[in-house]
Amino acid sequence: MEDQGQAKKQKLSDESQVKISTLYDTILILDFGSQYSHLITRRIREVGVYCELLPCTQKIKDLDFKPKGVILSGSPYSITDADAPHVDPEVFNLGVPVLGICYGLQEISRVKGCGVTGLSRKSEYGFAQLKVVQSNFPHANELFAGIQDLTQVWMSHGDHIDNLPKDFEIIGSTETSGFAAIAHCTDPVYGIQFHPEVTHSVEGKTILQNFVKLICHCDSNWTMDSFVDKEIERIRKVVGENGSVVGAVSGGVDSTVAAVLMKRAIGDRFHAVLVDNGVMRMNECEQVKESLGSQLGINLRVVDAADLFLDKLANVKDPETKRKIIGNTFIEVFEKEAHIIDEECQNSGTGKINFLLQGTLYPDVIESISFKGPSATIKSHHNVGGLLADMRLELIEPLRELFKDEVRALGSILGVPDDLVWRHPFPGPGIAIRVLGEVTREQVKIARHADYIYIEEIKKANLYRSISQAYAALLPVRSVGVMGDCRTYEQVIALRAVETTDFMTADWFDIPVPVLKRISNRILNEVDGVNRVVYDISSKPPATIEWE
Ligand code: XMP
């Protein structure tokens, strides 16, 4: 049943989208499963060209846009594996340039007649010097235009070709790889054995830029400035003149930016709901009300459900049970409010709610369309299951083509205040998973207060933007201390601060000792019930960012 619900939701979601790829020059990246595939997407967008990553199993006849060029990614497979994924050969009949990276080069070689015997298994991992070889065919030289004859590249491959496919020539070699870069003599088809998308390849970004701009002739018009107008127009078209939208906001950057876009597009026909679950940060509810409601003018209502959440959390210690309770209670409260809004809209003759806003980002989309199958790691918080199923709402996801840094840039353009744009991520279950063990009102108060001081001091020390995420956790232990002439037996605060780009791996952040001293002093002096502060120096893995 749940699968059917998901499939239906996905379908509704697809139907409600007018594709961005039909509005911009678009490069199609076919993903063969390399850990670097999403980086190709990042690099190309960084040079202002829109691109989309689709699974390598994509049939060209089913594409709903015409790409200006195609890139075949790397892969963890060996091309000689029986179950190795293969490209639809129609890619080469599209009449647009093709670039194969690593496994992609081998796929080109395979399709172009350098059979499997032309590949040999010899792994190579690490830096190499690429020697650029000039060609007599001008188009073949365009890939490395403006690049020094000798440049550092990053290799990471098991197979390599040891025969040139018919009508191809060498345009680059390394000491160990005679065919490190090849190009077709007449057609704009290129293959490179190294990875231009990783920053270790010094000229990697230039190579990708040459491909998309010089070779594919893409306009570099993918900017958040241009996105704003197109997206607002798209939302208006999708929602229609009388449609209304409901969406939850949390004060985080994604839901805030999505809400501001909706406000710009359809004004007060967008109804934002903030559910106060009693485990948000200190003063956060008031701040969100002030910034989203008063400053940004969003039609916002706040539902005070703190007691409901905290009562349900009583006596619960298990982290996953806490998550489930919070997730389910959120759905219950939000659904009730959405029905009230719907009724109000109908009574006042302003139409009916027919869309649900979600702040889905591109990494979630990439993860869910991976040809290796949807990942099981999507957090239950994001997976809102049967939310509002009985209202038959369609999903509207204005950020589904964007990476986090693009969302931030968009937020700034839309006038979202800096402190919201750069806010550290905050988990859906909030402070409930930062109060280890049982979540009581008193424990939440202690954790909140310590967290507030910690963040305030990090901001004062100008470290907030360098740290990816920081928070204070309240540990479920007591330790002995001394205050004045008296023995104390009180609780412990653990400070966590990490640096990360993807939140999948993370390093602990090196906060200068004088700053740590100030934080610890203030917490010990100002927060009742705490007599010890510790600093968490664990990286992820093996630890996770949250303690629960
Ligand atoms: P971990 O603890 O898995 O956290 O290293 C990685 C990132 O995910 C956030 N996180 C959550 N976000 N619901 C959320 O919305 C959750 O249940 C949840 N658990 C962890 C965490 O804050 C970090 O940014």
Task: Give the CATH number, domain containing residue 510.
Answer: 3.30.300.10
pLDDT of residue 484: 87
Q: Which domain, by its residues, includes 404?
A: 243-422
Annotated active-site residue 424? The verdict is no
Task: Examine the pLDDT at 94 and tell me if it is beyond 70.
Answer: yes
Q: Cα-flanking dihedrals φ and ψ of residue 199, to 5°?
A: -65, -15
Whether 377 shows a pLDDT value over 70: the answer reads no
Mark whether 59 and 186 lie in a shared domain.
Answer: yes
Q: Is residue 2 part of a domain?
A: no
Of all residues in the chain, the percent with pLDDT exceeding 70 is 91
Range with the lowest mean pLDDT among 8-22, 307-321, 345-359, 372-386? Answer: 372-386
Task: Answer yes or no: are the C-beta atoms of 395 and 12 closer than 8 Å.
Answer: yes
What confidence category does residue 372 fall into, taking pLDDT thresholds of 50, 70 and 90? low
* Domain-ending residue, one of 163, 197, 215: 215
Mutate to test the pocket of ligand 1, among 322, 326, 358, 503 (most ligand atoms within 8 A of CB): 503
**Domain match, 310 and 455 both:** no
pLDDT for 482 beyond 50: yes
Claim to verify: residue 506 and residue 458 sit in the same structural domain:
yes
C-alpha 414/C-alpha 406 separation (Å) is: 12
Residues 141, 76 share a domain? yes
Residue 265 corresponds to which amino acid? Answer: A
Instruction: Calculate the average pLDDT of the chain.
Output: 90
* CA angle in degrees (0–180, nearest 5) for 396-398-402: 140
> Using an 8 Å Cβ cutoff, are 249 and 277 in contact?
no
Q: Are residues 306 and 352 in the same domain?
A: yes
pLDDT for position 350: 78
Q: Is residue 348 part of a domain?
A: yes
- Which residue CA neighbors atom 4 of ligand 1 most closely? 545
d(CA 287, CA 274): 11
Given a contact cutoff of 8 angstroms between Cβ atoms, the answer to whether 193 and 180 are in contact is yes
Q: Is 546 in the pocket of ligand 1 (CB under 6 A)?
A: yes
364 with 451, same domain: the answer is no
CA distances from 96 to 20, 90, 206, 212, 477 (A): 20, 11, 20, 11, 64
- Give pLDDT, residue 457: 98
Q: Give nearest CA residue, ligand 1 atom 18.
A: 427
> Has residue 485 got a pLDDT over 70?
yes
201 ligand 1 Cβ < 6 A: no
The answer as to whether 282 is a domain residue is yes
For ligand 1, whether the C-beta of 109 sits within 6 Å is no
**What are the residue ranges of helices labelled H in 276-318?**
284-288, 306-313
Domain end point (choices 390, 422, 454): 422
The CATH number linked to 346 is 3.40.50.620
Closest CA to 224 of 65, 22, 405: 405
* 544 within ligand 1 shell (Cβ under 6 A): yes
Structure tokens at 487: 């023995």
Stated pTM of the model: 0.84
- Rounded Cα–Cα distance for residues 67 and 58 (Å): 13
Question: Do 446 and 417 share a structural domain?
Answer: no
256 is in an annotated binding site: yes
Active site residue 184: no
Average pLDDT over residues 437-463: 98
**Is 320 annotated in the active site?**
no
Q: Choose, from 51, 102, 114, 218, the residue flagged as catalytic.
A: 102
The answer on 445 and 404 residing in a single domain is: no
pLDDT value at residue 121: 60
Confidence of residue 113 (pLDDT cuts 50, 70, 90): confident
